[in-house]
Structure 1
Amino acid sequence: MSVDYIEYDDYTPYNETENNTIKTGLLPFSSCHSSLNHVLVAVNIIISVIGLGGNSLVIWICGWKMKRTVTTTWYISLAISDFLFCAFLPLEVFYMITSHWPFGLVLCKFTSSALFLNMYSCVFLLVLISADRCIMVSFPVWSHNHRTVQKALGVLVLMWVLSALLTLPSLIYRQTTVHGSVTQCHTSYMDHSRHKAVVLTRFIYGFLIPFLIIVFCSSVLCVKLRSLTKKSTKPYKVMAALILSFFFCWVPYHSFVILESDLMNHSLEVLQTGLKVGATLAAANSFISPALYVFIGNDFKKNLKRSKSMEII
């Protein structure tokens, strides 16, 4: 991923070094192995193309071809989150290739924030989906009487507001710096304690606590499903796949970001490489979700085939 997301510059204002490039927090595209960068550029282009197309398809099918339910409401919101991230990704690909940011301060802030808004909204939605399934199985009568699309929309509004609030540090600390004919888009926390606070907040609220809740709900579901063998397990397989994909896509990123906050005890080159790969894996989560709907969700595939047959007629 590009310098924008991996935030090499987060540690530079307080990292004493004679290297002026490191001091200013501006690490050029050529500072890492060029072959790896070429691979990551190609991967990010694929993520952007498949993510935009796949999430558009999910939004269209779930929004217009399927009956509006609480479940499809969750999935539409998840697809919208992934779509917004993929829409900003081409700007990052350009920055990866050129090391120049010609798009201005506003897009610098919003493009950086897109990843973290996607991260928070995705994990919070997975918590909602997991809790919703858990309540449906554990309290079926209560769920039947109180589980409505209107209430789900209200919860989604709160979820998006919370995600936006937790994304604020990226909007606040993102800035552009001009060096001759080159403009850099980077983060400047100005002190180490502020940087660590943001990193730990993202890890705790954007990964650790939500994931523990998801594991708890999934454990309850596994126990309950043993006595419900006649009921279709397809929705639970989709949910389990979404959870696993989120876990494996985000763990490397969070791991290297935490290591990066203690730069002096780790190799700069290893952190650069790890953060780039970790951020690319995090971005990959945005096109894995629609793929899971297509290959695992029977209802989705049926509605897709039905819509195609109607077009032919």
Structure 2
Amino acid sequence: MATTMVSGNISNCEVFDNFKYTLYGCVYSMVFVLGLISNCVAMYIFICTLKVRNETTTYMINLAISDLLFVFTLPFRIFYFAARHWPFGDVLCKISVTLFYTNMYGSILFLTCISVDRFLAIVYPFRSKTIRTKRNAKIVCLAVWLTVITGSVPASFFRSTNTNNNTTEACFENFSEDTWKTYLSKIVIFIEIVGFFIPLILNVFCSTMVLKTLKKPVTLSRSKLNKTKVLKMIVVHLMIFCFCFIPYNINLVLYSLMRTQAFSNCTVKTAVKTMYPITLCIAVSNCCFDPIVYYFTSETIQNSIKKRNRVRRKDSRFSETLGSENFIQHNLNTLKAKIFENESTI
């Protein structure tokens, strides 16, 4: 790293972050395998197993679709980070980037929808009956898709691929300061306010209100088991939200400020540029964690899985019983045959 001090300001600050290509390749490969399997299993449960669907499962289905759309673009990104060259053209680069941001902020908004839905169900159980309907949930999901697409599509308004050293194509990297100041900084402002800060406030508010409601004497009639389930749901929900999205989005704001030359401190630049790929990989891992939210949030899914396990155990016991009966019957028939043969010879 080379730095030059001029009148107390740093005029040149070179940061080496080539480690990001190896990190991206490894993490994205793992996320592709785990995310594909877990979300396909989730979709199978939603579509083929669940007989009763409510507004919560509507949000979960849309969240799983969002995860799968992103997962399907990962092989292109894995190739890019391994070869450090994007041969698939500008259009596919734009689609890949758009789906990345659609997934990330779609996940944030759908998780927020689940949090608000739990808030209404627990804090205002009677008043919210007319609001918490499958029809309204579908309308909210449509609004979420329109919002995240509106925030992500502007990335296609300018060229997403750049040529490095006149030989290799880079996808959504190495943009000039003018591009950041003109386009990217505005996109970042929009997606951070609408896609992160407002949902973060809503998640914290809803979780706090639910916890306060559960502590009230009025709710003592609720079973302790039910309260424990709600507490587990809130803890898991907030842990995944905070772990996956807070580090990346805070770093993205700092990264945008750095690229627009809002600050020029070399130490800060080094820290921000080094942490960017790390926080990005953590954010991408949300595809693997979302199915955990499905299980802890929806009692319908838990009951469905438990019911299937009970049916399988019954089937296995029945097959074992049937097998033992067949074995006994076979031995009896063999014994009868031998007795009959002995009698006939006498």
2:304 equivalent in structure 1: 303
2:171 maps to which residue? 185
Answering whether residue 51 of structure 2 is matched by residue 56 of structure 1, we say no
Deviations 1:158-183 (A, max 9, x none): 11111111112322235223455422
Write the deviation string for residues 250-299 of structure 1: whole angstroms up to 9, x where unpaired: 22212222222233324554333211111101101111111344577664
What's the secondary structure of 1:72's corresponding residue?
A: helix
Q: Conserved in 2, the CA contact under 8 Å of 1:259 and 1:266?
A: no
In structure 2, what is the equivalent of residue 265 of structure 1? 265
- Is residue 2:124 matched to residue 1:128? no
> Among the aligned pairs, what percent are the same residue?
27
Aligned amino acid, residue 272 of structure 1: K
Between the aligned partners of 1:18 and 1:269, the Cα distance in structure 2 is 12
Contact 1:138/1:224, CA 8 A, preserved across alignment? yes
Partner residue of 2:78? Answer: 93
Q: Which has the higher contact order (CA 8 A, sep 6+)?
A: 1
| CA distance in structure 2 between the aligned counterparts of 1:173 and 1:239, rounded to whole angstroms | 41
Please tell me whether the aligned partners of residues 126 and 243 of structure 1 are also in contact (alpha carbons under 8 angstroms): no
Match of residue 251 from structure 1: 246
Could you say what secondary structure the match of 2:172 adopts? strand
Match of 2:196 among 200, 207, 213: 207
Residue pair 2:188, 2:253 contacting (<8 A) in 1 also: yes
The aligned runs of 1:1-313 (5 Å cut-off) are 32-34=17-19, 37-66=21-50, 67-178=52-163, 180-186=166-172, 188=175, 190=179, 192=181, 194-227=183-216, 228-229=219-220, 230-231=222-223, 232-233=226-227, 234-235=229-230, 237-263=232-258, 264-267=264-267, 268-294=269-295, 299-304=300-305, 306-307=307-308, 309=311
- 2:57–2:298 CA contact under 8 A, matched in 1: no
Which TM-score applies when normalising by structure 1? 0.80
| Of 184-193 and 125-134, the range deviating more from structure 2 | 184-193
What's the CA shift for 1:201?
2.1
Tell me if the contact between 2:148 and 2:195 (Cα under 8 Å) persists in the aligned partners. Answer: no
**Structure 1, unaligned runs of 5 or more:** 1-16
Maintained 8 Å contact 2:151/2:187: no
- Alignment length (residue pairs): 287
Output the amino acid matched with 1:223. Answer: K
Q: How far apart, in 2, do the equivalents of 1:147 and 1:262 lie?
A: 41
Q: Deviations over 1:107-142 (max 9, x none)?
A: 100111122111221121122222222222233223
- Give the superposition deviation at 1:147: 2.3
